[in-house]
Structure 1
């Protein structure tokens, strides 16, 4: 397991966009869970970050959460980041994803369905993409930033 705790000093740059799942019902569900406070963690795949040429999130980094219509709806701040093998995802992380999963096996089945889906395989450019126990996952914890903490102007979608 790798613990990532360095804060990035990017105060001059506009906030990056945080997109949960692909636009549609799942994204709408996840955004609603962020807004109601039940979702405080998320899981990404290292391979996805690498494919997109994106750096892994860092503690202290803020991002604008967008809905399925690409409208800004909230700001979150990263409070923790770990890179672990899929086999090592723990129940606390699973529960904090706020999707109602009560076991790691239940969570994994749902996530594998997403990761093995046509949209994800197309996004990665690999029609045969699959995960296994050794697949590296980015376990991100975050908090919802309150209105009082928000910048005066958010970036346009």
Structure 2
């Protein structure tokens, strides 16, 4: 069993995703392991953003819609689960999506910027950080545009394991 599968087994138990099948039936959330991924584009991004999640500071994220399209991935929806890894690929948290919306970059609001938890948690700093990120890593050749569609997710931590320092 690999590290992610072992984490998933522990997370299902702690997050109470697995019930007593003979009484309650099989919980569909427990049948398939969710995707494992990390925040950001570098190991440093992944570690820093993961720590914000584990501290409870980061409860939202933003992804260019173009990224989902380029990867052929379905958009997340309420209830979507994800295993979040650190920069070394070690699973650390199980997240559940609580809200999803797609808006133009220039219509992201202050509340979402605060929920992302980065730097000073203002809309101005969110825009600066994300314009740079989308320009450098996530435009898939399209470049940055102020009206580019951005998928905004809010999430809750269902289970986590501490980062060893």
Query: What TM-score do the two structures reach when normalised by structure 2?
Result: 0.75
Please list the CA deviations of residues 126-149 of structure 1 after superposition, one character each: whole Å capped at 9, or x if unmatched: 2xx3222220000000001136xx
**Could you say which residue in structure 2 is the equivalent of 1:3?**
none
1:75-86 alignment runs, 5 A limit = 75-86=94-105
Hey, which of these two has a bigger chunk of helix by percent? 2
Deviation at 1:48, TM superposition (A): 0.4
Unpaired segments ≥5 residues, structure 1: 1-8, 151-157
CA contact (8 A) 1:28 1:67 kept: yes
Matched, 1:140 2:159: no
Distance of 1:62 and 1:69 partners within structure 2: 20
Deviation at 1:105, TM superposition (A): 2.2
Matched, 1:47 2:66: yes
Structure 1 stretches (4+) deviating beyond 2 angstroms?
Answer: 100-103
Distance of 1:54 and 1:11 partners within structure 2: 21
Unpaired segments ≥5 residues, structure 2: 1-27
Q: How many residue pairs end up in the alignment?
A: 134
| Partner SS state of residue 51, structure 1 | helix
Q: Which of the two has higher C-alpha Rg? A: 2
Matched, 1:109 2:131: no
Match of 1:37 among 22, 33, 56: 56
CA contact (8 A) 1:87 1:134 kept: yes
Matched, 1:70 2:89: yes
Residues 1:72 and 1:102: Cα distance change in structure 2 (over 3 Å): closer
The root-mean-square deviation of aligned C-alpha atoms, in Å, is: 1.8
Deviation at 1:103, TM superposition (A): 2.8
**Which gives a bigger RCO, structure 1 or 2 (Cα 8 Å, sep 6+)?**
1
